[in-house]
Amino acid sequence: MNFDFSDDQKSLQDETHRFLRDRCDLSVARIVLDDQKQAYSESVWQEMVELGWAGIAIPEQYGGIGLGYLELCVMAEEMGRFLAPVPFSSTLYLFCEALLNGASETLKQEILPPVATGKLVGTMAFAEGFGFPGRDRIGVRFEGGKLYGDKWPVADAMIADAAVVLAVNEDNKPCLCFLDLDQEPVHRRQLESVDPSRGQGGLEFFGAEAESLTAFEGGSDNSGWQLFQRVLNSAAVLFAFEQIGGADACLAAATEFARERYAFGRPVGSFQAIKHKLADVYVGNQLARSNAYYGAWALATGAEELPLAASVARVSAIQAYEYAASENVQVHGGMGFTWEADCHLYLRRSRSLALLIGSSGLWKKQVTRELERKFV
């Protein structure tokens, strides 16, 4: 039994932790939060790029460092812990995942090297307003090599140079299309969200030039939709690590506060009402962490359980983070609900991550569907 990260992976995590602690503590997320014009921290992202992080999981043949999913997982956990306001997730978990799995060799050769060197920030656009896109509910059209329609919200829409977009083609089949966002028929608009430290926006296409990603699973009729599902499953695992990082930070903050804050002549952490609450948070975090490891294992080994493991990891992580973040506010009392205290930053992030690639209800459906496939 070796259900843990390796020593090398753990030291990469430590290295990530130290960098973020020194260069990207919560004051950085706060700058982006307070200044609506800033969609991310450009300087921190530049430093990360210089460390090679933008290409951490891009194979060496495309100019990256060529580490694997497990390395990405441990870094994601730290990104989540420090609420890093950088396009790490949009570029690495979504955009690169789509290209690595679905792009032609030529396109990979063209696009991945500038990603690895930080010249290109990417994202994935799939949502179209309220609800979550189903196979038969995609409005954006890909016709004659051009995209038409509106996508919102899109993470990092204001700063991305390129995107992968979920659309339907002329045969009414879902497909993922790559496009350069710096072209005239692409209109961007900034959107306000509950989590301003991670910018979101809308992308509207008026015949923007794009290229369909057809290399996944031999490019069958269904491959566009399967590629989208594959990217979501990968992202679910990676976001789960961001979520458990955030959830751990909430538990640590609440525990420290409960040890130091006195009321009725004793630390509030000596009251069972607080102890039991924090024990429950701990239990939720440990279950989520354990399920996230399961997702990491499935992702890294290419196991056929990935859709099950990813959905379990995601729901568990959503539940743990939202619970930890809301109880962190609660333990801090009135102070926890001030702008000054950091509690609301995590509360906001826990909610936005719970929504970004589909809510827990949607992913629970996948859990049961996969179990049915396995058992019935």
Partner 1 sequence: MDFDDTPEEAEFRLEVRSWLAEQASAYSLKSFDDLSFEQQLSLGREFQARKAERGYAKITWTQELGGMGGTPMQAVIYEQEEEKYNFPTVFFAISLGMPIPVMRRFATEAQQQRYLKPALRGEEVWCQLFSEPSAGSDLGGIRLKAVRDGDDWVLNGQKIWTSYAHISDFGIIVTRTDPTVAKHKGMTFFFVDMKSPGIEVRQIKQAAGGGEFCEVFFSDVRVPDGNRLGEINAGWSVAIATLMEERFAVTDAAGGGAQLEDTMHFLRRELGEGDGGLDDPCVREKIADWYIAESGINNFYARLLTGLSQGQLPGPEAALSKIVIARKLQAQSADIMDFCGPAGAIYPDFQVSRANDYRIAWLEAAGYRIAGGTDEILKNTIAERVLGLPGDIRVDKDIPFEELK
Contacts with partner 1, residue ranges (CB under 8 A): 1-6, 70, 251, 255, 258-259, 266-267, 269-270, 272, 274-276, 278-280, 282-283, 286-291, 293-294, 296-297, 300-301, 311-312, 315-316, 319, 361, 364-365, 367-368, 371-372, 375-376
Identify which of residues 51 and 283 has a Cβ nearer to partner 1 in the complex: 283
Shortest distance, CB of residue 244 to partner 1, whole angstroms?
12
H helix intervals, 57-216: 69-81, 88, 97-102, 105-116
Query: Distance between CA 330 and CA 279 in Å, rounded?
Result: 14
Q: How many CA atoms lie within 13 A of 59 on its CB side?
A: 9
Q: How many CA atoms lie within 13 A of 281 on its CB side?
A: 28
Identify which of residues 137 and 187 has a Cβ nearer to partner 1 in the complex: 137
> Could you say which DSSP state residue 128 is in?
B
Identify which of residues 92 and 240 has a Cβ nearer to partner 1 in the complex: 240
> Could you say which DSSP state residue 171 is in?
T
Shortest distance, CB of residue 133 to partner 1, whole angstroms?
19
Shortest distance, CB of residue 18 to partner 1, whole angstroms?
23
Shortest distance, CB of residue 321 to partner 1, whole angstroms?
14
Shortest distance, CB of residue 142 to partner 1, whole angstroms?
32
Q: Is 88:50 a contact under the CB 8 Å cutoff?
A: no
CA torsion sign, 358 to 359 to 360 to 361?
negative
Distance, first Cα to last Cα, the chain: 29
Name every residue whose Cβ is closer than 8 Å to that of residue 157 and which is 6 or more positions away in sequence: 123, 125, 163, 188, 190, 191, 199, 200, 201, 202, 203
Identify which of residues 131 and 144 has a Cβ nearer to partner 1 in the complex: 131
Identify which of residues 98 and 268 has a Cβ nearer to partner 1 in the complex: 268
Shortest distance, CB of residue 272 to partner 1, whole angstroms?
7
Identify which of residues 51 and 371 has a Cβ nearer to partner 1 in the complex: 371
Identify which of residues 65 and 362 has a Cβ nearer to partner 1 in the complex: 362
* Residue carrying the six token digits 């072209």: 183
Q: Provide the β-strand partners of residue 188.
A: 203
Shortest distance, CB of residue 69 to partner 1, whole angstroms?
10
Query: Distance between CA 33 and CA 28 in Å, rounded?
Result: 9
* Residue carrying the six token digits 């923007």: 208
